[in-house]
Each structure stands twice: as structure tokens, then as C-alpha cells.
Amino acid sequence: MLRGVLAGRSLDAELVSAWRRHAQLDARSRAAAQDLAYGALRFYGRLHALLEVLLRKPLEDARLRALLLIALYQLDRTRAAPHAVVDHAVRACKALGLTSAMGLVNAVLRNFLRLRPALNTRVQRVETARYSHPQWWIDKLRAQYPAHYAAVLEADNTRPPLAVRVNRRRASVAEYLDRLARHRVRAEACGASAVLLEKPLPAERIPGWAEGLVSVQDAAAQLAAPMLGLVDGMRVLDACAAPGGKATHALELSDVELTALDNDGARLERVRSNLERLRLEAHIVCGDVREPASWWDGALFDRILLDAPCSASGVARRHPDIKWLRRQTDIAQFAQTQSRMLDALWQTLASGGKLLYATCSVFHEENHEQVARFLERHRDVTRLTLPAVDNDIQLPAGQLLPDRRHDGFFYALLQKA
């Protein structure tokens, strides 16, 4: 999996491929393998720097390099017994048909253990190793958030929180916390509908998930639906709706006529599945946001939510491959797509209606600057102050930075004259 990502493929695609090839693995083994892949990618900048120092010459075999990176991650960042890690890495060489590299693997890993303090001092001088991010990413955050960039980079390398959204039509947050306590699941409230679980669980093992009592959704993403100011009977569009978290939240809050739009038919199946689990109804449409003529019936919407495709720089800890697959030039391309989507959707919004623009990015080009350019292009728009929908999460100018409780997110509420 690690080798596939470093060759340019997404971690999600590698996971699907791995489980297809190794269908015999049980759930525990899959979880362990996935954890190693995620961990090595979170700290790839540091691990790469360590390996460069430990090797006398570059490795030609990508499998061997990935194996050493995984073993270094275990030695550097986990509680695994060092002797067992070294032994298993050497044995893995044999399983991969790399018997000639067994001595090299043994020497590299033992040298790391022997020279660890000195190696740590050396690689900490390199920013890409200290923060485990590409240099362009570090530089951009430092320029845009001079007082907070280090905290954002460090948050990106932590394990993400697991939040669930309580279906307030069926239970209060306090009632759900009582239920978790009866199941001996430790958790805390976070705002109006969010509950943070102390330890992650598969969705199907979360109490109440199967019966539609809760949905897995980050606390920052749970702010979207309440910000729309929904009233029963409104026509609402959730553009880029898959997998359906915000759409289902809107339907839990009010009886609206909701259209869930996405250009990916396979991902729309997840929307349909979530609606069925929660016993909710919506009009599901497959179409391109940028081409309303292909999906829009001409009836104006009272509310529109555009959770636009973006760099996903605010959720890098959930998708650590993003840090190494994303390129600086991608940001301008995302911004162009976002701009086209905003312009296309604006014509489908009723007078007096509101559009909530959202991204899971922390880069200004996709957020503040995107909104500023939209305001310049359209005279019939007012940017509204965001409503205070959650006392636990503050939104300075619409931008949330990732922290212990939530991901990085951006919101802007726009009203049509």
C-alpha cells in the first residue's frame, strides 16, 4: 500500500486493491496493516529523512524501500518490541524474494536503534522531516497563518477524532451519552449534536448506528446544515452531496424538499444507503454542478449548500496520502473549479435565498480569496455573518483550523439580493 501511494496512487484505491488481493485477512489483521500504512504516510517526511541518512546509496527496489519505511515507523512511533520489528522485517525480505537484502535491512534498522538520538537531532534540522509535510505546504501555511502554522502542521500528524452526529429527532445528546455509558464507551459532548468518542470504533459497532440514531460526521462538518437556517417546506440543493452527511443532517433538522446532487453515480449509492439507514427521503440526481442545464428543472432553490471539491488540506490527518500526492499547482486548479461551480449555482438560487459555500481546506486561495473574487463578479450578493450555531466551536471569519475536536473547515454564507 505504501509503495502504491509513493508511486502516485491514492491510499483509498490501494486499500481496496489490497483487500481484494488478500481476502483471507481477518478484520484485526486488516486494521493492523491499515494502521501501519496510515502511520508511515503521516510521518513519511521524517522517515524518508532518516532512511536517507542511514543508507550509503539509494535503493533501487521500491518494495525494499517501503519495507524499511514501515519498519522505521514501527521503531520510531509505536510500542512494538524493537527486536520483533527487526526480525519480522528481515523475514519479510525472504517472503518478498529479496534474500540478498536481508543483511542490509538488519543493519539499517539496528543502526537506527543504536544511533537514534544523533539521528533525531540531525533530521529535526530539516523542516520537511520535522513537520512531515512537503516544503511548499509548510511555506504556504507559514505565510497565511504565521502565528498558527506549526500547530496546524502538528495537528495534521495526529490521529483524527471520531465524532458522531446524534439524530436530534430521536434522542438528545445527553440521552445518547447515557447509552454510550451503558455500553462502556467513553465519550464527550461537542456542541449541539456532536459526540466525540474517546477511542475509534468501526461504524457498525457504534451503539445506535445501525438503527439510524447516529451518523459518523466530523464536528466541523456538522456546522453546515444548521447554518442554512432551514424552514419546513423549503427547496434545498446539496451540491456535491456524496456521501450524504450534510444532506441527511439537513433532513433531520427540518422537513424540506431536498435534492442531493453529485457527478459520481457510485458515490451517490452511499447517499442512498445513508438515507435508507436514517429513514429519510431526498431526490437523488447525478449531474455536473457546473452544467445546470443537464440536471436542473428550472425551479429555484431557497437554500444551496456547496461543499466544493478542494485540496482537502484541512483533513490531511484522515487522508495522509494527500500530503504527498498533492502538488502546489493543484490549488489553482481547484480554485478554478470552485469558481465555476459558484457561478453556475448562483443562477439556480431564488431571490433572498442563501448559498453556503464550504470546503475542507485551510488554504486562502480556496476560501477567503475565492469568496472575495465571487463578490467582485456578482453585484446581487451579500456575504452574511455566520450564525452562531455551536458555542463549542468558534468560527473566526469562517475559517476553522484542525485541532483535537474537529477538522479544518471553511464556511461563507452568501445571500442573493
- Return the CATH number at 331: 3.40.50.150
CA distance readout (Å), 169 to 166, 181, 209, 245, 329: 9, 21, 14, 16, 44
Task: State the pLDDT at residue 34.
Answer: 95
Do 174 and 264 fall into the same domain? no
What grid cell was written down for 373?
473574487
- Return the CATH number at 72: 1.10.940.10
ω into 243 cis (within 30 of 0): yes
Between CA 155 and CA 408 the distance in angstroms is 10
Do 246 and 325 fall into the same domain? yes
Q: Is residue 6 situated within a structural domain?
A: yes
Q: Is residue 254 situated within a structural domain?
A: yes
Given a cut of 80, is residue 392 above it in pLDDT? no
Q: Is residue 285 situated within a structural domain?
A: yes
Please give the tally of structural domains in the chain.
3
Q: Where is the domain boundary, 216, 241, 261?
A: 216
Residue range 315-366, pLDDT digits in tens? 999 999 999 999 999 999 999 999 999 999 999 999 999 999 999 999 999 9
Task: State the pLDDT at residue 390.
Answer: 78
Question: What residues contact 339, with CB distance under 8 A and at least 6 apart?
Answer: 370, 373, 374
Average pLDDT estimate for 59-82: 97
Task: State the pLDDT at residue 192.
Answer: 87
Do 19 and 116 fall into the same domain? yes
Between CA 229 and CA 4 the distance in angstroms is 44
Question: What residues contact 145, with CB distance under 8 A and at least 6 apart?
Answer: 152, 362, 401
Which one, of 101, 20, 109, 107, lies nearest residue 70 by Cα?
A: 109
Q: What is the mean pLDDT of the chain?
A: 96
Q: Where is the domain boundary, 130, 152, 178?
A: 130
Identify any residues that bridge with 262 across adjacent strands, giving them in sequence order: 286
Task: Write the single-letter amino acid at 228.
Answer: L
Do 311 and 401 fall into the same domain? yes
Q: Indicate the pTM of the whole model.
A: 0.95
Helical segments of 311-365, H only = 322-325, 328-346
Given a cut of 90, is residue 191 above it in pLDDT? no
276 with 268: CB under 8 angstroms? no
Query: Domain span at residue 349?
Result: 221-416
Do 394 and 276 fall into the same domain? yes
Q: Is residue 139 situated within a structural domain?
A: no
Given a cut of 90, is residue 171 above it in pLDDT? yes
The residues assigned a catalytic role are: 360
